[in-house]
Amino acid sequence: MKSFLFLTLLAAAGLQSFCQQLNIIPQPVSVKLNSGTFTITNKTVFVVNDAEAGKSADFFNAYLENIYGFKLAKGSAQPGNYIKLVTKKNIEKPSSDAYNLVVAPMGVTISGDTYSGIFYGIQTLIQLLPVTKNVSLKIPAVSIADSPRFIYRGMMLDVGRHFFPVSVVKKYIDYIALHKMNYFHWHLTDDQGWRIKIKKYPLLTEVGSTRNGTIIGHFPGTGNDHIKHSGFYTQEEIREVVKYAADRFITVVPEIEMPGHAEAALTSYPWLGCPGTGPYKVEETWGVFNNVFCAGKDSTFQFLQNVLDEVLQLFPGPYIHVGGDECPKNNWKLCPLCQARIKAEELKDEHGLQSYFIQRMEKYINSKGRKMIGWDEILEGGLAPNATVMSWRGEQGGIDAAKQNHDVIMTPGGWVYFDHAQVQKDDSLTIGGYLPVEKVYGYEPIPKELNTEQAKHVLGGQANLWTEYISDPSKIEYMIFPRMSALSEVLWSPKKQRSWILFEPRLKQQFKRYDLWKSSYSKATLTNTLTRKKIKGKK
Binding site for ligand ACM (CB under 6 A): 325-326, 375, 392
Catalytic residue among 162, 185, 187, 261: 261
Is residue 273 within 8 A of residue 255, CB to CB? The reply is: no
Nearer to ligand ACM, 69 or 433 (CB): 433
Is residue 477 within 8 A of residue 521, CB to CB? The reply is: yes
Which SS3 state, helix, strand or coil, does residue 169 take? Answer: helix
Q: Which stretch binds Zn ion (CB under 5 A): 223-231, 273-281, 423-431, 480-488?
A: 273-281
- Encoded one letter per residue, x for contact with Zn ion by CB under 5 A and - for no contact, window 320-349 reads ---------------x-xx-----------
Q: Is 472 a catalytic residue?
A: no
**Minimum separation from the CB atom of position 375 to ligand ACM (A):** 4
Catalytic residue among 52, 247, 326, 438: 326
Nearer to ligand ACM, 420 or 498 (CB): 420
Is 274 an interacting residue with respect to Zn ion (CB under 5 A)? yes
Catalytic residue among 58, 97, 113, 190: 190
Q: Is 218 a catalytic residue?
A: no
Burial class (CB in 10 A: 0-12, 13-18, 19+), 125: buried
**Minimum separation from the CB atom of position 294 to Zn ion (A):** 3
Residue 335 binds which entry of Zn ion, ligand ACM, none, CB below 5-8 Å type-dependent: Zn ion
**Minimum separation from the CB atom of position 271 to Zn ion (A):** 11
Residue 337 binds which entry of Zn ion, ligand ACM, none, CB below 5-8 Å type-dependent: Zn ion
Residues contacting 262, CB < 8 A, separation 6+:
189, 191, 272, 291, 292, 293
Nearer to ligand ACM, 325 or 504 (CB): 325
**Minimum separation from the CB atom of position 192 to Zn ion (A):** 22
**Minimum separation from the CB atom of position 322 to ligand ACM (A):** 12
**Minimum separation from the CB atom of position 392 to ligand ACM (A):** 4
- Looking at residue 167, its amino acid is S
Is 296 an interacting residue with respect to Zn ion (CB under 5 A)? yes
Residue 325 binds which entry of Zn ion, ligand ACM, none, CB below 5-8 Å type-dependent: ligand ACM
Residue 338 binds which entry of Zn ion, ligand ACM, none, CB below 5-8 Å type-dependent: Zn ion
Which SS3 state, helix, strand or coil, does residue 307 take? Answer: helix
- CA separation for the pair 30, 88 (Å, rounded): 18
Burial class (CB in 10 A: 0-12, 13-18, 19+), 203: middle
Is residue 186 within 8 A of residue 159, CB to CB? The reply is: yes
Residue 375 binds which entry of Zn ion, ligand ACM, none, CB below 5-8 Å type-dependent: ligand ACM
Cis geometry, peptide bond prior to residue 220 (ω within 30 degrees of 0): yes
Q: Which stretch binds Zn ion (CB under 5 A): 2-10, 295-303, 470-478, 480-488?
A: 295-303
Nearer to Zn ion, 155 or 322 (CB): 322
**Minimum separation from the CB atom of position 377 to ligand ACM (A):** 8
- Nearest CA among 475, 490, 460, 373 for reference residue 418: 475
Nearer to Zn ion, 292 or 465 (CB): 292
Please provide residue 416's backbone torsions phi and psi, each rounded to the nearest 5 degrees: -135, 25
Within residues 96-115, the interface with Zn ion by CB under 5 A covers: none
365 HSE (CA, 13 A, CB side)? 31
- Among 272, 294, 342, 389, interactor with Zn ion by CB under 5 A: 294
Q: Is 261 a catalytic residue?
A: yes
Please provide residue 253's backbone torsions phi and psi, each rounded to the nearest 5 degrees: -105, 110
Residues 230-248 as b/e (b if ≥16 CB within 10 A, e otherwise) read: eebbeeebbeebbebbebb
Residue 274 binds which entry of Zn ion, ligand ACM, none, CB below 5-8 Å type-dependent: Zn ion
- Looking at residue 347, its amino acid is L
- CA separation for the pair 347, 339 (Å, rounded): 10
- CA separation for the pair 376, 393 (Å, rounded): 7
Nearer to Zn ion, 171 or 333 (CB): 333
Residues contacting 221, CB < 8 A, separation 6+:
215, 285
Nearer to ligand ACM, 55 or 187 (CB): 187
Residue 294 binds which entry of Zn ion, ligand ACM, none, CB below 5-8 Å type-dependent: Zn ion
Burial class (CB in 10 A: 0-12, 13-18, 19+), 344: exposed
Residue 461 binds which entry of Zn ion, ligand ACM, none, CB below 5-8 Å type-dependent: none
Q: Which residue is nearest to ligand ACM (CB)?
A: 325
- Quickly list H helices, 179-275: 203-206, 235-246, 263-268
**Minimum separation from the CB atom of position 31 to ligand ACM (A):** 37
Is residue 357 within 8 A of residue 258, CB to CB? The reply is: yes
Query: What is the dihedral sign for C-alpha 241, 28, 140, 53?
Result: negative
Is 253 an interacting residue with respect to Zn ion (CB under 5 A)? no
Binding residues for Zn ion (CB under 5 A):
274, 294, 296, 335, 337-338
Q: Which residues are catalytic?
A: 190, 261, 326
